[in-house]
Amino acid sequence: MMVLEHQRASDMLETLQRKDPDITIIVTFSKFVVVYVLQKDGSNPSWRRTNVQGSVLLVQRNSTPRYQLILKNQSDTQDLVDNLHPDWELDCQENYIFYKVEDPHQLIRGLWFHDDVERQKLEASLEKALGEIRPSAELQTAPQPQKAEPNLQSLQETDKFSAAAAQVDATVVQNRRLASNEAVSQDTVTVSVTSVRAAAHALADDEDFLKMIIQKIQSVQLAA
């Protein structure tokens, strides 16, 4: 039985590759399903059976799209081919797989399986394939911008400049203080006994000063 199944899958793969050489493997398949679509008639949607029925295959390709769900139609030459997309919505229950494709204009599909074991097998393969093509949580999280590392050389240069500027400011302040003290010392006369004595001796030795004193004394006597 396993040999027959393997041979059948090999034959189907060769048939598929004649139409699409990018198909590499048949992931899984079921011998017979019937396709339904959700018909939206006003406010009362209902399931309608289509004329598509036959084997269903999940295939893997070596190009985009990575996976395809192919329904080989026994009653018509037109097969139903859906490319798996990360936005697919999958809902499964006993004997049924319902899936909504990424195109909102497309009708929701429903696959009926005679054998629920085959339905479970295809469901598991679909879930795994969708998990592979959907972005992981790490990729969905926007990367946080990294803070730029401080430039040590720039910081050192800045510190040197600041230190030099501080030294200049200190020098200017000190020079201003010295100049101010010098100006004060030039305008201020310090009076002491020693300085008065020295001044008196200097005046006594001044002949012009002594003549002026004698004239003052004579003028006072004459007036008296």
pLDDT in the model for residue 181: 55
pLDDT digit string (tens) for 187-211?
445 556 566 566 666 666 767 766 7
Alpha carbon 1 to its chain centroid, in Å, reads 55
pLDDT in the model for residue 81: 96
pLDDT digit string (tens) for 111-167?
999 999 999 999 999 999 999 999 975 555 555 555 555 555 544 544 544 554 455
**Residue-by-residue DSSP string for 10-67:** HHHHHHHHHH-TTEEEEEEEEEEEEEEEEE--TT--EEEEEEEEEEEEEEEESSSSSE
pLDDT in the model for residue 161: 45
Q: Return the closest-CA partner of residue 25 out of 39, 44, 6.
A: 6
Tokens linked to 193: 């006994």
pLDDT in the model for residue 147: 54
Enter the CATH code of domain 2-134.
2.30.29.30
pLDDT in the model for residue 214: 73
The CA distance from 147 to 151, in Å, is 12
Domain residues of the chain, as ranges? 2-134
The CA distance from 88 to 206, in Å, is 123
Provide, rounded to the nearest whole percent, the portion of the chain with pLDDT above 90.
Answer: 50
Indicate if the pLDDT at residue 185 is higher than 60: no
Rg (CA), the chain: 54
